[in-house]
């Protein structure tokens, strides 16, 4: 059988960062091809290349579809051939009906007037095809996430789909919905539709996939024909995580002291869906001089946990107790948390961490203006001195502290955020994805800063999706999945396989990944 789709030697880089290197990938008609890999392994990039989000010319390599080389200029070109991608974040309009959503771009019409009978007839057909028993009139907002996913698929089917790309379709579904969805995929296989399934859930992959490709650091590292050999989960996990340690980590002398932060029985509910428990009665602690990592997949609840601790800046109906240096405290607001000695460096520095239009100086002093403002009037000389001081200490590369923060590189912006929080003189620092989107050199500098903080007797918590980073800098790693801690390892005994296994084991046994939906958290 010849391949319906073949991607040959695809490479793609973003301003110097190589996201894909010589990836070869092919899918046959009537095949379910699973694509697995860590966060940032290049799965989504590969799919964006395929669907034309990154147009021809912006990458190297060739795409062959139906035996012909294709150069997609945008997503319309790929859709015209029947390549349909369904993103993790659903692209449905909540206050429109199922029928309106399915026929949003090309409603059947006569002389420009939408033919409603035809819309309803075809919507019913499509809904029957995906096994969704809902009226075409139902508004999207009234459907659960699982059913919305099916509507997305129905929408794809309305466009004469030849190849369906599903980006973590079951991440936000419960077990029954997931099973139903996978069954649909198997039905499509019978109809000769090729599918690409991106998933973290190896048990699902094992159930439906005909072929598995493992990506790591933008390369194809393993390719498994599921009909020729038995699926070994261990092999897949090892392929996913076993990378060469490209970047090294600074040495440090570890001196762990008294407990500084102790959280017990912490529980948080979703602010919009208050019946959904996002953090499930967890216990967590940090000692002076200790660097604790929190590992987990996106949406595991790590950010939500950190933000709920930080002056209840996320979630509702928060309960549990916090002790700082052995004293029970309550932190009803961010200001109270800062005063108590807690600092939280946000995962998204542009949206949540910095005021990009303001200069470096104003950003550094923002959380501790009182230190430079006796009587609430800012002493600009004192402010300038403090800011310049941090600029030198943290080696922030900027023309001067009056430079607009938005003009700095990612690494330097991150140092500005760190400076802001160091200035508050925290006892415990929570760093959420501190090295995301910054280059290797700046990463090393951030690791050095983390070490200095710990050596100065502060407690440091690092949330990261990059496992080598956690292994390289942490004294202890806690693994979070679906709002609970599912594993804990001493720094020396932790390995990527052990962490990944702890997550996967939990995914399988639990199967109701409710928290996974909160990927893009807003405070």
Partner 1 sequence: MTDKTVSLPEERRHGNFIKNNLRNYGMLMSLVAIMLFFQVMTGGTLLQPLNLTNLVLQNSYIVIMALGMLLVIVTGHIDLSVGSVAGFVGAVAALLMVTYKVDYTLAFIICLAVGAAIGAAQGYWVAYFKIPSFIVTLAGMLVFKGLALAVLQGQSLGPFPPTFQKLSSGFIPELLPEAGTLHPTSMLIGAVLALGLVYAGAKGRSREQSHGIEVEPYAFFLGKSILLACAVLYFTYLIASHRGLPNVLVIMTALIALYGFVTRRTVIGRQIYAVGGNAKAASLSGIKTERLTFLTFVNMGVLAALAGLVFAARLNTATPKAGLGFELDVIAACFIGGASAYGGVGRVGGAVVGAMIMGVMNNGMSILGIGIDYQQVIKGLVLLGAVCIDVYNQRR
Residues in contact with partner 1 by the rule CB under 8 A: 310-311, 313, 333-335, 337-338, 344, 346, 351-358, 362, 366-367, 369-370, 373, 376-378, 380-381, 384-385, 388-389, 392, 399-400, 420, 522-523
3-class secondary-structure state, position 503: helix
**512: β partners:** none
For partner 1, which is the closer residue by CB, 372 or 484? Answer: 372
Q: In angstroms, give the least distance from the CB of 404 to partner 1.
A: 11
- d(C-alpha 236, C-alpha 511), whole Å: 20
Q: In angstroms, give the least distance from the CB of 39 to partner 1.
A: 23
Say how many C-beta atoms besides its own lie within 10 A of residue 299's C-beta: 26
3-class secondary-structure state, position 339: helix
For partner 1, which is the closer residue by CB, 247 or 395? Answer: 395
What is the secondary structure of 129-164 as a DSSP string? HHT----TT-BGGGS-HHHHHHHHHHHHHTT--SEE
Interior CA angle at 150 toward 147 and 155, to 5°?
130
Give backbone dihedrals phi and psi of 91, rounded to 5 degrees, phi first. -105, 45
Q: In angstroms, give the least distance from the CB of 325 to partner 1.
A: 20
For partner 1, which is the closer residue by CB, 325 or 348? Answer: 348
**319: β partners:** 267
What letter does residue 356 receive in the DSSP assignment? T
For partner 1, which is the closer residue by CB, 290 or 432? Answer: 432
Q: In angstroms, give the least distance from the CB of 523 to partner 1.
A: 6
- d(C-alpha 151, C-alpha 102), whole Å: 7
For partner 1, which is the closer residue by CB, 316 or 510? Answer: 316
Q: In angstroms, give the least distance from the CB of 434 to partner 1.
A: 15
- d(C-alpha 294, C-alpha 470), whole Å: 8
Question: What Å distances lie between residue 413 and 74, 347, 447, CA to CA?
Answer: 32, 12, 15
Judged on CB neighbours under 10 Å (0-12, 13-18, 19+), 222 is middle
Q: In angstroms, give the least distance from the CB of 69 to partner 1.
A: 39
- d(C-alpha 208, C-alpha 205), whole Å: 6
For partner 1, which is the closer residue by CB, 221 or 384? Answer: 384
**270: β partners:** none
- d(C-alpha 386, C-alpha 332), whole Å: 29
- d(C-alpha 113, C-alpha 198), whole Å: 39
- d(C-alpha 266, C-alpha 497), whole Å: 28
For partner 1, which is the closer residue by CB, 179 or 352? Answer: 352
Q: In angstroms, give the least distance from the CB of 14 to partner 1.
A: 23
392, 422 Cβ separation under 8 angstroms: no
For partner 1, which is the closer residue by CB, 182 or 386? Answer: 386
Q: In angstroms, give the least distance from the CB of 516 to partner 1.
A: 23
What letter does residue 353 receive in the DSSP assignment? I
For partner 1, which is the closer residue by CB, 81 or 394? Answer: 394
For partner 1, which is the closer residue by CB, 143 or 322? Answer: 322
For partner 1, which is the closer residue by CB, 6 or 389? Answer: 389
Q: In angstroms, give the least distance from the CB of 409 to partner 1.
A: 18
Q: In angstroms, give the least distance from the CB of 373 to partner 1.
A: 5
Which distant-in-sequence residues (6+ apart) come within 8 Å of 111 by Cβ? none
Q: In angstroms, give the least distance from the CB of 324 to partner 1.
A: 16
Say how many C-beta atoms besides its own lie within 10 A of residue 253's C-beta: 8
Tokens of 257: 């002291």
């Amino acid at each position: 059988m010849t391949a319906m789709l073949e991607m040959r030697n695809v490479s793609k880089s973003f301003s110097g960062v190589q996201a894909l290197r010589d990836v070869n990938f092919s899918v046959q008609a009537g095949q379910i091809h699973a694509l697995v890999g860590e966060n940032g392994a290049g799965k989504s990039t590969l799919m964006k290349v395929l669907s034309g989000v990154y147009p021809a010319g912006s990458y190297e390599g060739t795409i062959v579809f139906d035996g012909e080389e294709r150069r997609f200029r945008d997503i319309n070109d790929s859709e015209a051939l029947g390549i349909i991608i369904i993103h993790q974040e659903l692209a449905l309009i909540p206050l429109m009906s199922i029928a309106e959503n399915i026929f949003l771009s090309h409603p059947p019409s006569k002389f420009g007037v939408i033919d409603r009978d035809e819309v309803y007839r075809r919507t019913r057909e499509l809904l029957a095809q995906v096994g969704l028993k809902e009226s075409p009139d139902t508004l999207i907002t009234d459907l659960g996430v699982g059913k919305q996913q099916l509507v997305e698929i129905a929408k794809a089917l309305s466009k004469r789909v030849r190849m369906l790309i599903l980006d973590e379709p079951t991440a936000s579904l419960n077990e029954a919905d997931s099973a139903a969805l996978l069954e649909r995929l198997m039905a499509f296989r019978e109809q000769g539709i090729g599918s690409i399934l991106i998933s973290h859930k190896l048990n699902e992959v094992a159930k439906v996939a005909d072929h598995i490709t493992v990506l790591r650091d933008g390369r194809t590292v393993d390719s498994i024909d599921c009909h020729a050999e038995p699926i070994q989960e261990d092999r897949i996990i090892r392929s996913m995580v076993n990378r060469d340690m490209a970047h090294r980590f600074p040495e440090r002398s570890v001196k762990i002291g008294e407990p500084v932060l102790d959280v017990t029985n912490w529980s948080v509910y979703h602010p919009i869906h208050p019946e959904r428990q996002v953090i499930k009665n967890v216990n967590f602690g940090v000692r002076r001089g200790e660097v604790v990592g929190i590992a987990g997949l996106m949406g595991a609840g790590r950010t939500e946990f950190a933000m709920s601790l930080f002056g209840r800046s996320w979630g509702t109906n928060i309960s549990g107790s916090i002790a700082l240096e052995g004293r029970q405290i309550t932190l009803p607001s961010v200001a109270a948390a800062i005063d108590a000695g807690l600092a939280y460096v946000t995962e998204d520095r542009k949206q949540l961490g910095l005021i990009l239009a303001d200069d470096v100086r104003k950003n550094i002093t923002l959380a501790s203006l009182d230190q430079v403002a006796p009587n609430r009037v800012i002493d600009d000389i004192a402010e300038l001195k403090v800011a310049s001081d941090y600029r030198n200490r943290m080696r922030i590369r900027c023309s001067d502290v009056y430079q607009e923060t938005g003009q700095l590189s990612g690494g330097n912006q991150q140092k500005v955020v760190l400076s802001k929080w160091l200035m508050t003189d925290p006892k415990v620092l929570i760093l959420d994805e501190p090295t995301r989107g910054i280059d290797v050199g700046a990463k090393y500098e951030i690791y050095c800063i983390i070490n200095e903080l710990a050596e100065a007797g502060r407690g440091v918590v690092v949330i990261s999706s990059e496992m080598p980073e956690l292994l390289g800098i942490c004294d202890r790693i806690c693994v979070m999945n679906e709002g609970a801690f599912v594993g804990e390892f001493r720094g020396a005994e932790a390995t990527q396989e052990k962490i990944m296994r702890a997550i996967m084991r939990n995914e399988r046994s639990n199967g109701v990944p409710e928290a996974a939906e909160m990927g893009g958290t807003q405070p």
